[in-house]
């Protein structure tokens, strides 16, 4: 016989412990110790519910309606209390912090204009030129190893930028 198979001996022990008022969790431990079984709590709870359906009370339709009314009244009271505290779903959110204003800066880069074949690790890869045959790259030292640009081009590519137009 397998360790997780219900037989008459195990069912009788289960019924005896249940009638003695032992908790379901304790029944699992004792049943496994006495019979050498390996039942889980879920297996024992399922067997108890199937063997003793009266132990699990069934509600009448009137009781279900009464419970729903009770729960709705409870939820409504909680909602009123939440609104009274000013933390309701439709209350005004807290004021937002203003975003810092970015100042307009002129960017002055001194690119080395390195060709693609001369690029090495640690050199800025900001492109100059539109034509692929004549395109060069900045070539300055990069900010960190995980970025491809120098400090000037990093600021240009990652932060809002407002260009100053000469009049």
- The model's confidence at residue 167, banded by pLDDT at 50, 70 and 90, is very low
- Distance in angstroms (rounded) separating the CA atoms of residues 29 and 92: 54
∠ CA(29), CA(32), CA(34), 5° rounding?
Answer: 105
Contacts of 48 (CB under 8 A, 6+ apart): 14, 18, 24, 27, 55
CA distance 81 to 34: 53
The pLDDT, as a whole number, for residue 73 is 95
Q: Which of 73-77, 102-106, 149-153 has the lowest mean pLDDT?
A: 102-106
CA-based R_g, the chain, Å:
37
Segment (H or E) for 42: helix 41-51
Dihedral of alpha carbons 147, 152, 153, 154, sign: positive
More confident residue, 153 or 137: 137
Summarize pLDDT for 21-61 with one digit per residue, the tens: 888 899 999 999 998 888 999 999 999 888 887 766 778 89
Token pair 């409870």 is found at 74
Work out the pLDDT band at 153, boundaries 50, 70, 90: confident
Place 103 in a pLDDT band, splitting at 50, 70 and 90.
low
């Amino acid at each position: 016989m397998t360790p997780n198979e219900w037989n008459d001996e195990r069912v009788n022990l289960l019924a005896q412990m249940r009638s003695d008022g032992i908790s379901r969790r304790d029944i699992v431990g004792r049943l496994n110790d006495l019979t050498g079984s390996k039942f889980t709590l879920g297996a024992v709870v399922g067997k108890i519910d199937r063997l003793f359906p009266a132990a699990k009370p069934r509600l009448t339709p009137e009781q279900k309606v009464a419970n729903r009314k009770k729960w709705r009244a409870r939820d409504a009271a909680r909602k009123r209390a939440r609104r009274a505290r000013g933390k309701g779903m439709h209350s005004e959110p807290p004021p937002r912090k203003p975003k810092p204003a970015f100042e307009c800066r002129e960017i002055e880069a001194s690119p080395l204009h390195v060709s693609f074949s001369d690029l090495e690790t640690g050199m800025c890869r900001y492109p100059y030129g539109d034509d692929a045959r004549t395109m060069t790259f900045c070539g300055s030292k990069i900010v960190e190893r995980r970025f491809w640009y120098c400090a000037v081009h990093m600021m240009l590519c990652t932060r809002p930028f407002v260009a100053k137009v000469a009049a």
